[in-house]
Chain A
């Protein structure tokens, strides 16, 4: 998809529709509450629309949306940690910092990510795939792999660490 194509309102609609469900899923995992998740995702899109980020190439835009979602969520956690007197003051969000630039490894294209995934030991790759790509619970993954449930979380974290290193390497080789 070329950049100018995405600038039109129709393209913006398409992007919003494509990523809304995805972001909502992540936001719900983070917040644990659908109303908060909706707010976060809405804020993330508003920020994207305001800052013209919708013009970015899609891989970069996606990483950027996730970063914004992260920042908005952390802001919420901070406010909550500071105490109830700051709760519900939505204006705090408006002043929230602009996200730092997206690292290049997070905006690699799908083929490069798949290639990186292939380099992982299946011991780590399989549970990571099931968790991250299929959305299975640790219990379901343990049952599928015939592995003790206690090992699933650490295998997934291991996969994440290794994957980051491999993706970073792929960027440096470019």
Chain B
């Protein structure tokens, strides 16, 4: 086997290889003494370092235990006796935690991911049901058990799964801030159609816990809902790289279809811009394809006064777009920020600004700018939206 295969061991161990390469590496491992020995050393080092990891991690793990059922406790108690009497092997099998399973149906009713582990089992997303009322039946005694245990976070997730996003949101708002709570708040916001809030919550979660899987997923959905398919696809790519069964392949499929959306948008973009330039925005197919762009055009049409703040804003937006496509990105960004500051000074309601920034971000992405720029705009929008 070639040297290059040996060199992959670090990336394999750290979960950085794409699935196909990881499989190839496993096959290699079966035959390579050198890599086997190296892997053993790496695992022993992990074993030695593991108490440090536990020491610096995560109060967020608490809900796992909180979700344990009474049944589990009984089993553990029984097993403790069995372990001695009837054989230790059996002990392990029976002490497997039996958390209250929230994700029992074969399909999941919501697109987002939830932080409570028993609710985060991957199941195919049930598009058909989700379009009606997204819900799954959570047995009443499950709810009652969660409530008895004061597991409000678990209860919030249960409400969200059963289609009661508002109640879930109320419960989460009363929880102490944590990455898990923020990530689930993003899920609630996605469910209620508030993509900007979803992005804010998911971004906060990731700031608290950069590797947070559910938050990364929810952030990707928020970006998509904000009309940023390119950024959303990149975010799903990131999720896919974690190689979580089910979630990973769904992320890949989502990234792929978002890129298709992006491509078809690109094709429509030229026609749309011509329509905007001529002032004729009546073509319904274009309107459907580019709602953000046409909402913008309508806003321009509705606010035509010479010193109207909207106009000021839109002029800046247009100028920025020219510069973006012309390639002078740094100047375009500076000009956009200046323009928005002036628009704000001229009296545009701060609440409108995030939306404008998001349009700009969408445009930056369309113009082939790196997603990180789009993200910077989103961040700026978020900053402005926070009182």
Contact: A62 with B50, CB < 8 Å? yes
Q: Does B98 touch A at the CB level, under 8 Å?
A: no
Most B CB within 10 A of own CB, among A33, A46, A66, A108? A66
A22 within 8 A of B: yes
Can you offer 7 A-B residue contacts whose CB atoms are under 8 A?
A: A13-B80, A16-B95, A70-B39, A70-B43, A74-B36, A137-B241, A138-B11
Flag if A81 contacts B30 (CB, 8 Å): yes
Main DSSP-derived SS at the B contact region = helix
A96 to B16, CA, bound (A): 29
Asked whether A50 and B76 contact (CB < 8 A) given A9-B84, A77-B30, A106-B45, the answer is no
Q: Which residues of A contact B40 (CB under 8 A)?
A: 67, 70
Which of B16, B55, B88, B92: most chain A CB closer than 10 A?
B92
User: Cβ of B79 < 8 Å from any Cβ of A?
Assistant: yes
User: B28-41, CB under 8 A of A: which get 1 and which 0?
Assistant: 01110000100111
What are the residues of chain A within 8 A of B241 when measuring CB–CB? 137, 139
Which residues from B are CB-within-8-Å of A20? 97
Across the interface, do B44 and A137 meet the contact criterion of CB distance under 8 Å?
Answer: no
Within the complex, which residue of B27, B45, B56, B84 is in contact with A81, where a contact is CB–CB below 8 Å? B27
| Residue numbers in B under 8 Å from A17 (CB-CB) | 95, 97
Residues of chain B contacted by A59 (CB below 8 angstroms): 48
Q: A153 to B16, Cβ gap below 8 A?
A: yes
Closest chain B residue to A109 by CB distance? B51
Known: A80-B26, A153-B16. A160 touches B45 (CB 8 A): yes
List the 7 shortest-distance A-B pairs measured between CB atoms, nearest first. Answer: A81-B30, A77-B30, A49-B88, A106-B44, A66-B47, A9-B83, A9-B80
Q: Interface residues of A: mostly helix, strand, loop or mixed?
A: helix
- Closest residue of chain B to A107 (Cβ to Cβ) is B48
Docked pose: A12 CA to B92 CA in angstroms: 9
Q: Is the CB of B46 within 8 A of A113?
A: no
Determine the residue in chain B with the shortest Cβ distance to A141.
B210
Whether A10 sits at the interface, judged by CB under 8 Å, is yes
B315 at the interface (CB under 8 A from A): no
- CB-based contact B79/A67 at 8 Å: no
> Which residues of A are found within 8 Å of B22, using beta-carbon distances?
32
Residue A40 CB within 8 A of the other chain: no
Once the chains bind, are A13 and B49 in contact (CB under 8 Å)? no
A133 close to B53 (CB less than 8 A): yes
B52 touches A117 (CB 8 A): yes
Instruction: Please name all residues of chain A whose beta carbon is closer than 8 Å to the beta carbon of B31 when the two chains form the complex.
Output: 78, 81
Contact of B53 among A78, A103, A132, A153 (CB under 8 A): A132
Within the complex, what minimum Cβ distance (angstroms) separates B86 from chain A?
A: 11
Given A17-B95, A63-B47: 18 more A-B contacts, CB < 8 Å: A9-B91, A21-B61, A32-B23, A32-B243, A49-B88, A62-B51, A67-B47, A70-B40, A77-B27, A79-B30, A80-B27, A117-B49, A134-B56, A134-B211, A137-B242, A160-B10, A160-B45, A167-B45
Closest to A49 in B: B88
A147 within 8 A of partner (CB): no
How far, in whole Å, are A63 and B26 apart by their CA atoms in the complex? 22
A140 at the interface (CB under 8 A from B): yes
Q: When the two chains form their complex, are residues A63 and B48 in contact, meaning their CB atoms are under 8 A apart? A: yes
| Interchain CA distance A25-B117 in the complex, whole Å | 13
Asked whether B49 lies within 8 Å of A133 as measured between CB atoms, the reply is yes
Contact A157 B10 (CB under 8 A): yes
Q: Is A105 an interface residue (CB 8 A)?
A: yes
Rounded to whole Å, the gap between the CB of B242 and the closest CB of chain A is 7
B174 at the interface (CB under 8 A from A): no
A62 to B54, CA, bound (A): 13
Q: Are A49 and B97 in contact (CB under 8 A)?
A: no
| B105: Cβ under 8 A from any A Cβ | no
CB distance from B51 to the nearest CB of A (A): 4
Give the residue of B10, B43, B238 whose beta carbon is less than 8 angstroms from that of A156. B10
- List residues of chain B with CB within 8 A of the CB of A62: 47, 50-51
Which residue from chain A places its CB closest to the CB of B206 in the assembled complex? A140
